[in-house]
A and B are shown apart, each in its own frame.
Chain A
Amino acid sequence: MTVYPMARVSTLGMLGKFAAALVAVVVIQGVFSFKFKVFGFFDLPLIFSVYYGFTLGNPVASIVIGSSLGLMQDSLSGAVLGANGLSKTIIGFLAASAGSKFAVDQPVTRLLALFLFTIGDGILVTILGAMVGPALGATYSVALTSWALSATFNAVLGLVLFAYHDRWSHATT
């Protein structure tokens, strides 16, 4: 019958902060893509799914984060509901698995992982979209260019954000 109100409050607070951060990521992605055209090539939800997968050391949390981010991303876009959700779920899980087996704190590893995850995300979302809606049509070259650009942009931005977040985490702990 022992109750630890402080511990419960701090857990709830942490969950609340996490939820707010996830919502902020999707909202910022939506608004900034509109304000700054180049931002359309970035995929903040993907970068955050990968980052938390690498650093949290908790695959279940990574799956939940990836799944929620993807579903919110789908809802704010014209994509098939669940396409980004499924893709980000898998990415969160793979990132968490990779994080527990490999040294993912190296910039080169992160760069490569972000690049590959972005390409995988693009392919999976496109396939799922084509399964539900009509096929992509004669625009595969455009899609390939878009994936490659997006993967490069995500890898670079992710690297910067990872480094910044790492430094910030070290400073606060």
Chain B
Amino acid sequence: MIRIVAASKKPTWIALGIALVLQTGLISFQARHRIDTSFVRVWILDSLAPLEKLVDRSTYAALYVWERYFALVGTHDENERLRHQVEELRMQLHQNREDMLELQRLRSMLSLSSSDTGKTVVARVIGRDPARSQTITIDKGTVQGVRPDSAVITPAGVVGRVIYSSNFFSIVQLIIDSQSAVGVLLQSTRRQGVVRGTGGLSLDLDYIDDDNDLKQGDTFLSSGLDRIYPKGLPVGVITSVGPRRGLLKMVQVRPSADLGRLEEVICILEHPQNADSDEPAQGSANP
């Protein structure tokens, strides 16, 4: 009886061993950069992302129908005909507003695209990180020219950078990710520094030449020294300047772009190197 139990447990240990060796091997290869494992990610991303897009669109459609129709049933039962008229007009009005907002967004994106940010492509956000790091999935990939380290922005400010690209989809690391950093300069005094993600909703100032004249409300722009983000894009606004800890004051920065409500973003495919590009990179972000 003991033998039977022991024999029946053998496949479990074999399966566990194989699974652990496979996963550890993947991690090890990435750590040592011996073998390029990105094909695994590309393959799975290309397989799953279309489904993600489908679910995203279906959810959007279902929410749209729910919010614009079912949620209104029963609220105006006094006058059936009038209620239908009101609903139709409301839907039409709402649709027009949505169109107008979309038009405004696209116009601002077009004006930004035609400025000195270089070659760009507009992408739609289709998913957010199913694990707990701060990333989003967009519907543009290498076929559209998006590559790892492409900067991702909105007209409001810097969003993040592409860390993985498959053929038609890419994963973007947001600037609030704890492993992300952006080279910045203070708009008012032009002092250069680095802001780092906290993994929460804000950024922390990691380094600056001189922090004596920092005050709440000051704006940080991208310095371009990290060679990822073009110079001069809004990165964030100082929300609090705390007491000194070590060499620097504790400074919290709110991202300029609303990272919680991203719908469309702009990927910068190529951007002209700024005049300071021969300086060493200070705030290059790492995945």
Contacts and interface: CB of A to CB of B under 8 A. Distances in A.
B204 interface: yes
A39 to B, nearest CB: 8
A79 B23 CA distance: 13
B131 A79 contact: yes
Given A40-B129, A77-B130, A78-B129, A89 B12 contact: no
B95 to A, nearest CB: 20
Contacts of B171: 76-78
Interface stretch (A8-16, A62-70, A103-111, A162-170): A62-70
Interface string A51-79: 00000000110011011001111111111
A76 B199 CA distance: 18
B24 A34 contact: no
B26 A33 contact: no
B30 A64 contact: no
Contact of A82 (B15, B24, B286): B24
A76 B22 contact: no
Contacts of A73: 130-131
A132 B29 CA distance: 9
A26 B23 contact: no
B57 to A, nearest CB: 10
B48 A27 contact: yes
B127 A146 contact: no
Nearest to A136: B178
B173 interface: yes
Contact of B40 (A67, A81, A133): A81
B59 to A, nearest CB: 6
B131 A74 contact: yes
Contact of A59 (B12, B137, B197, B260): B12
Contacts of A32: 59
B45 A63 contact: no
Contacts, number: 177
A63 B55 contact: no
A5 interface: no
A146 B59 contact: no
Contacts of A28: 55
B130 A86 contact: no
Contact of B12 (A34, A60, A76, A133): A60
A142 B198 contact: yes
Contacts of A132: 27, 30-31
A29 B130 contact: yes
Contacts of B197: 139
A50 interface: no
A59 to B, nearest CB: 4
Interface string B198-229: 11100010000000000000000000000000
B16 interface: yes
Contacts of A71: 23, 40, 44
A23 interface: yes
B135 A78 contact: yes
Interface centre among B55, B127, B129, B130 (most CB of A within 10 A): B130
A9 B246 CA distance: 67
A152 B275 CA distance: 50
A30 B52 contact: yes
Nearest to A130: B179
B44 A72 contact: yes
Nearest to A61: B15
What 3 pairs between A and B have smallest CB-CB spacing? A34-B128, A82-B26, A75-B44
Interface of B: 11-12, 15-16, 19-20, 22-27, 30-31, 37, 40-41, 44-45, 48-49, 51-52, 55-56, 59, 63, 125-137, 163-164, 171, 173, 177-179, 196-200, 204, 260, 286-287
